[in-house]
Amino acid sequence: MSTDDTEADLPVLHADATLVAIDKPAGLLAVPGRGPDKADCASARVQRRWPDARVVHRLDMDTSGVMVLARGAAAQSALARAFAQRRVRKRYVAVVTGVPLPPDGADGWGDIRLPLAVDWPRRPRSAVTFAHGKPSHTRWRILGLERWGPLWATRVELQPITGRSHQLRVHLAALGHPILGDPLYADGAARHAAPRLLLHAAGLTLPHPSDATPLTLASPVPF
């Protein structure tokens, strides 16, 4: 069943016997980091209320939106398979600097296919590398133009087909249009145009671990 309850200021989008979906705020770790100062995170807050909750995917600390945790080992295995087999449809919304050329797809969608790997000298950054990067695929389309202070910006919808670290952020930066407020991949005015990274996990559709029926979860874009 769905619920409007909160746990330590975490909005709960859906909760039942096999999964919990929350609306993670920007600035909160998804899982614990190293050191006691990084113990507070979304998964720990959920586990205080549902001790059997287990992580199946993550959002960057600076990214907000839908995050799902499984309840119990069987549900975790089922959801992990669904993510690995790309049976989970993910929808993100971002605001990027500048005005990119519209995608050339007949349906208004375009594809970014650039291989990614961890940029070890500059961790936690990732980078496009054709030498040893993993295949990475993002679908995207333009939603509209906006003004953010002195900058022209573009609101885009994103569908990550693969799930590499920082994939959406690196792919958009590689197009020459980094996400506003990105502390890692945007510079100058683009970095300081927004008080946070303007990237939000707005929707997720997955096969429910109990019976594989589609479950759609949504979070309104807060920017």
The catalytic residue positions are: 60
Choose among 205, 201, 146: nearest CA to 177: 146
Q: Are 158 and 93 in contact (CB under 8 A)?
A: yes
Task: Round to whole Å and give the CA distance between 38 and 81.
Answer: 29
- What's the CA angle centered on 83, arms 127 and 162, to 5 degrees? 30
Q: Phi then psi for 41, rounded to 5 degrees?
A: -160, 170
- Tabulate helix, strand, coil % of the chain (nearest 5): 15, 35, 45
Task: Round to whole Å and give the CA distance between 42 and 101.
Answer: 37
Give the position of tokens 């990614």: 116
Task: Round to whole Å and give the CA distance between 85 and 80.
Answer: 9
Cα dihedral value 161, 143, 102, 182, nearest 10: -70
How far is CA 5 from each of CA 1, 24, 45, 70, rounded to the nearest angstrom?
12, 14, 13, 18
